[in-house]
Amino acid sequence: MLSLPPDRRVALATGLARFGDRPALVEGERVLTYAALAAEVEEVGRLLGGTRRLVLVAAGNDRGSVVAHLGALAAGHVVLLTADRDASVAELVATYDPDVVVRGGRVDERRAGTAHDLHPDLALLLSTSGTTGSPRLVRLGVEGVQANAESIAEYLAVRDSDVAVTTLPLHYCYGLSVLHSHLLRGASVVLTSLSVVDACFWDLVRAQGVTSLSGVPHTFELLDRVGFGAGVPPSLRYLTQAGGRMAPDLVRRYAELGQRHGFDLFVMYGQTEATARMAYLPPDLVLEHPGSVGVAVPGGELRIDAPDPVTGVGELVYAGPNVMLGYAAGPADLARPREVTELRTGDLARLDEAGLVEVVGRVARFAKVYGLRVDLDRVDHVLADDGLVAACASDDQRLVVAVQVEGPARPGPGRRLEARVAARVAARVGAITSLPPSGVRVVAVREIPRLPSGKPDARAVLELAAGSGAPEPQDVRGTFALVLGVERVDDEDTFTSLGADSLSYVETTVRLEELLGTLPTGWHVLSVGELEALRRRGDAAQRPRRRGRSVETGVLLRALAITAIVATHGNLVDLAGGAHLLLGLVGFNLARFHLTGTSAPERARRLVRSATRIAVPTVLWAGAVTLLAGAYPWRTALLLNGVAGPASWSEPAWHLWFVEAVVALLLGAAALVVVPGIHRVERRWPFWLPVAVAVAALATRYDLVSLRGGDEIHRAHVLAWLVALGWAAARATTWQHRAVVSLLLVATVPGFFGDPAREAVVAAGLLALVWAPVVRLPAVVARACGTLAGASLWIYLTHWQVYPHLEDRWPLLALLASLAVGVTAQRAWTAATAVGGRAVRGLRSGRPAIQRAAPEGGSVIAVSPESSTGRAPGTTLTATGVPAG
């Protein structure tokens, strides 16, 4: 343990043992007493060593995360708490270089001591609300963490007999405050990741006698959906609500429900910058003042800065011991002392007639559209008061309002209902803001896009206005993949096993109801295969057929390009240029799917994985047909023809040039993004960096730099400019950006091939990608495009072995047969890799967790049901005693 004085360690974590045999944590069937928790917390502190360190804890709602967090706090280390997600962890590790990373109950000691100068008052680092994994962190002090827990426990009157349940993630300041305030008073906390929409959650609540539930406004929407009012647990003592403004009507309704069932409703207000809470509304005032956040928490003070003489509205300022030390943007900031003594919340507020604080908007949530200043919070609040679930955002060119609607989004009554809602909202917003109809875009959605904290995601709301253009999934697998954002969904997967959460539940429910009709009870634990069987047994004739579907232009171009390639090779048409058009699409998708908001190492890994997914099937196919039929030289089969093959075009050596170029350019992009500084430049100038790369790559296109002569129009380094322009097209968010990309295309594509028709195909295709991101097609055509686009790699690989046998006599049959063989091969490969993936997962699930070796002088720390040192079952963190190295 560290030799820090008690006032440099968080008391709520060091004083656990005083509650003895009272239950502290409940997880599944296991109950951990305070005495046992204190022992495990002390052991973690011992294992972390005698040097004060920066400890990143990737937290889930589980016992290992709680013990690691408390152990580090109790020993005086600095905890960086984040979500247990790859992107979040990678971003923070890359930015802050923590000494220790705790994830999944395992501890990775990245060095023996510390690389950081840590201020003695610093205890905890949290991402600001809603920005999980963001490198900008809130620095919270030892005193602040303790003081806020005491304040919350005081106004909620938390008792040692109380039982809380983790309805919110522990990495979120609100969820963490529930844990801290209850442990401070010797109460119990039930650890679970179940959602409030899950029947198993309510079984757990009743079995454990849960006395309090906490939620953000979205949680209360979900409670409505599951009929909470008809089945209030008898043990419930109070509900707490924070994390954003809840509509007054909903506040009043839950307060009245509490009066009928004997529980209180606490409306609260806070920010991560104040550790958690700054104000609360006493339950006896809720019915009379449902729009208020109440009074300052014990020990704090609230004031209105420079109130308007007429409205009384000004910026809300808070002072108290729980105010943060300041922000951190990098490791050097961790040594800085307190820089904030009072918190300017950025919220606009006023005092009502009873002297209670009412938050009415955000200082920064104003937009200027058509020269009019628009208060976005006021729009949100008015729509909420009208009974609508809505969120608005603006890019200063238009106001986008997302409105949540129930029912299917399909032709017929459901579609008319959405149109009526959109018209109603547009008229209401126009009346509020004085904006003309052209300045307001209303989008009807099944579920408001939300951040991990449950708050509306303003950026995602803006993106809705552009229209996703993605075809609606027509099966259960596609629905799960779309809503949950997973790459592959297998037959035995379930909604729960795929890592779903409450934020995705409602949207998935609505989509599945459209596919299946009435959903069976417990659908979320049924496998995809079982749900697909229900869909197939349904009466498809009773579901109206879609007259048309929106398709991304990129998907259409990919399907047309691969068809043109095969048709040209098979002597059906003469329409060259498809492969080079596909290279532009490679750059476009590279930006959309690989260069997203993650760390530089994670981006590079994504690019390498993508290159591998292309290279592996290519080498296997080319190798197989070479061994069986002598199809290719070995350099071609190994994708080395461009660097070791003949300089000029010769068949069949150059048949796979396109795949070779794609793999090389993806690997080149991976190398680029790990160059120091490039990651930061791309995040700051996401459009202008690819433009600069494209301009620089023109050096090879115009032979200013010649790396290897010969057949240059098929060599990766000469084609890099096309990929970079596709990248820039994906980042073009304004008409000026699109104009820049268009000018570069028009200026650089002509003359490259010496074939005007071929150049026109490439330029026209990429210009369509820039200016028309979505097209509307008949449903059958849209499905065909999706099939061909998805199988384009395998069509390209296999068509060389199909069309030569048919091109002279039956060129159309050569095309159709090549497409059919490619689609079949793609499906076979997908099935084979799915089986392989399941086999690998099965092997992994049967293995004990293999821990990574610690640095020299360190140890390896593991999770096991039973300690290898002979301790009782339930031990969470255990030193295995394996020497480093």
Question: What Å distances lie between residue 631 and 496, 623, 806, CA to CA?
Answer: 47, 9, 17
What proportion of the chain, given as a percentage, has pLDDT over 90?
43
Distance CA 667, CA 673 (A): 10
* DSSP reduced 3-state for 540: helix
- When pLDDT is averaged across residues 702-722 and rounded to a whole number, the result is 82
- When pLDDT is averaged across residues 810-824 and rounded to a whole number, the result is 92
Distance CA 5, CA 14 (A): 12
- When pLDDT is averaged across residues 390-402 and rounded to a whole number, the result is 81
> Which residues touch 129 (CB under 8 Å, ≥6 apart)?
172, 173, 243, 271, 272, 453, 455
Contact 295, 356 (CB under 8 A): yes
Strand locations in 183-248 (E):
188-190, 212-215, 238-241
Report residue 263 as tokens: 């529980």
* DSSP reduced 3-state for 862: strand
Query: Is 160 a residue whose pLDDT tops 60?
Result: yes
What's the CA angle centered on 635, arms 629 and 636, to 5 degrees? Answer: 60
- When pLDDT is averaged across residues 670-690 and rounded to a whole number, the result is 85
Report residue 403 as tokens: 């409105």
Distance CA 124, CA 9 (A): 11
Contact 2, 46 (CB under 8 A): no
Distance CA 354, CA 207 (A): 41
**For 770-788, how does the pLDDT look when each residue is reduced to its tens digit (9 = 90+)?**
888 767 778 678 778 877 8
Contact 134, 128 (CB under 8 A): yes
Helices marked H in 409-496 — which ranges? 413-433, 458-466, 476-484
Distance CA 317, CA 307 (A): 11
Tell me the average pLDDT of the chain.
81
Could you tell me the pLDDT band of residue 676, with boundaries at 50, 70 and 90?
Answer: confident
The neighbouring-strand residues paired with 520 are: none
Could you tell me the pLDDT band of residue 17, with boundaries at 50, 70 and 90?
Answer: very high
| Crossing angle of the two packed helices 217-225 and 502-516, in degrees rounded to 10 | 40
Backbone φ and ψ for 123, nearest 5 degrees, come out as -125, -40
Q: Which residue has the higher pLDDT, 655 or 428?
A: 655
Q: Which residue has the higher pLDDT, 687 or 676?
A: 687
Contact 591, 669 (CB under 8 A): no
Distance CA 666, CA 723 (A): 9
- Over the range 486-513, which residues count as b (16 or more CB within 10 Å of their CB) and which as e? eeebbeebbbbebebbbbbbbbbbbbbe
Q: Which residue has the higher pLDDT, 478 or 253?
A: 253
Lowest average pLDDT, out of 347-351, 468-472, 488-492, 598-602, goes to 468-472
Q: Which residue has the higher pLDDT, 622 or 540?
A: 622
First-residue to last-residue Cα distance in the chain = 25
The neighbouring-strand residues paired with 315 are: 305, 348
> Which residues touch 493 (CB under 8 Å, ≥6 apart)?
480, 527, 528
Distance CA 76, CA 65 (A): 17
Q: Is the peptide bond before 652 cis (omega within 30 degrees of 0)?
A: yes
Distance CA 314, CA 308 (A): 6
Please indicate, yes or no, whether the overall pTM of this predicted structure exceeds 0.75.
no
**For 543-556, how does the pLDDT look when each residue is reduced to its tens digit (9 = 90+)?**
444 444 556 688 78
Report residue 435 as tokens: 């904006």
Classify residue 56 as exposed, middle or buried by CB count within 10 Å of its CB (0-12, 13-18, 19+): buried
853: enclosing H helix or E strand: none
The neighbouring-strand residues paired with 464 are: none
What's the CA angle centered on 23, arms 20 and 29, to 5 degrees? Answer: 140
* Structural domains of the chain, ranges and CATH numbers in brackets: 1-118+851-885 (3.40.50), 155-329+338-364 (3.40.50.12780), 365-466 (3.30.300.30), 476-545 (1.10.1200.10), 557-777 (no CATH)
279: enclosing H helix or E strand: strand 279-281
**For 446-484, how does the pLDDT look when each residue is reduced to its tens digit (9 = 90+)?**
888 887 667 788 778 887 876 533 345 567 877 776 666
pLDDT on residue 879: 27
Distance CA 636, CA 631 (A): 10
- When pLDDT is averaged across residues 559-573 and rounded to a whole number, the result is 91
